Amino acid sequence: EAAELLGLRNYMEVLSLFTTADLVAPTSDENVTVTDTAMNSVPVRLFLPRRAAGGLRRAMLLFHGGGWCLGDASMRNYDLISRRVSNELNAVVVSVNYRLAPPHHFPAQFEDVYSVSKFFLQSEVLSQYKVDPARVCVAGDSAGGNLAAAVAQQLSEDPEVKTKLKAQVLIYPALQALDLDLPSYRDNAHKPVLPRSLMVRFWSEYFTSDPALREAMASNSHVPAGSGALLQLVDWRRWLPEEMRKAHAFRERSWGGAELARRYPGFLDPRAAPLLASDARLSRLPRAYILTCEHDVLRDDGVMYAGRLRAAGVPVTHHHAEDGFHGAMTFLSWPIELALGHRLLNACLDWLRENL
């Protein structure tokens, strides 16, 4: 914050320095061949299992988290997750390095991951990597979960894509920016690793570096009047179970003017806010694994999406970690290695063995 106030660096550029310190080279081992390459001109880290295929393989398109501003496929724990998926499931993993904000704002991040997904799903590419076209999934955590959900929705409607996804894996995903006063935002407003103020900054920076949007989002007054129909899709009084609504009272919101939505329409776009998709669109989606954590501002996004998907007829496995917090699955190695992180990853891998 000091660097930004002094005009030295954008807040996110300072945070990205911590990301850079955690990068690892693409190192192959006895189980997996790892290379940095590109697909459709978008950089990716590719993980190919070394053992004999014994038939066609599974595949995962993986999108890292970091609030659309931070993160990298070559961060130590994303590299570790990709290796485990590739080795234990005999799967090809394509971990995508999409453009980040700033300087790139929505829809650049979505366009990059969608471009890679559409390229990879071509029959000749799947054949090149010996991938079974009936066993491909998208996956991501946090902002990456947002991108995975959005990609799954878009692919389901793209007439040029003949291969259908088998599954979507959404790890504590961010799924809407209309209501930033959900019970989970209140309960976890000041908790690490993702306090409300930082999530508001991530959301606003995804669309623009204009502080006007950030200030409006901070007071939950950024949605223009006349958006009531969209807000029904994220109405926590309907979509949260009673035990998660707790004693929270619904607060009437302050409506914003039309100007911010006109200049930065992304927060009303399902490509950025997958919870805004219609029921008909949701009904075409593949089965889902959704992880939510109790101590996470994004808890209610994932819970509501699980409810809406089920209502649309989509098979959903919702794993709620009562002792979990945002980012927990990436605490897998030194300097912070947690049994919780390994437990959550193992549960996800078990689901993939059965469902992919």
The DSSP-derived string for 111-167 is HHHHHHHHHHTSHHHHHHTTEEEEEEEEEEETHHHHHHHHHHHHHTT-TT--SPPSE
Question: Looking at residue 11, what is its pLDDT?
Answer: 78
Mean pLDDT calculated for residue range 61-67: 98
Question: What does the alpha-carbon distance between residue 353 and residue 146 come to, in Å, rounded to a whole number?
Answer: 23
64, 105, 295, 326: which is the annotated catalytic residue?
A: 326
Is residue 6 predicted with pLDDT exceeding 60?
A: no
User: Is 8 a residue whose pLDDT tops 80?
Assistant: no
Annotated catalytic residue 142 = yes
Active site residue 296: yes
Query: For residue 212, what is the enclosing H or E element?
Result: helix 211-218
The percent of residues in the chain predicted with pLDDT above 70, rounded, is 97
Which candidate in 79, 141, 187, 296 is catalytic?
Answer: 296
pLDDT tens, 67-80? 999 999 999 999 99
Ordered domains of the chain (ranges, CATH): 4-355 (3.40.50.1820)
Residue 323 catalytic?
no
| Among 138, 143, 111, 129, CA closest to 42 | 111
Residue tagged active-site, from 82, 117, 142, 204: 142
Q: What is the pLDDT of residues 131-150, one digit of tens each?
A: 999 999 999 999 999 999 99
* pLDDT level of residue 9 (50, 70, 90 thresholds): low
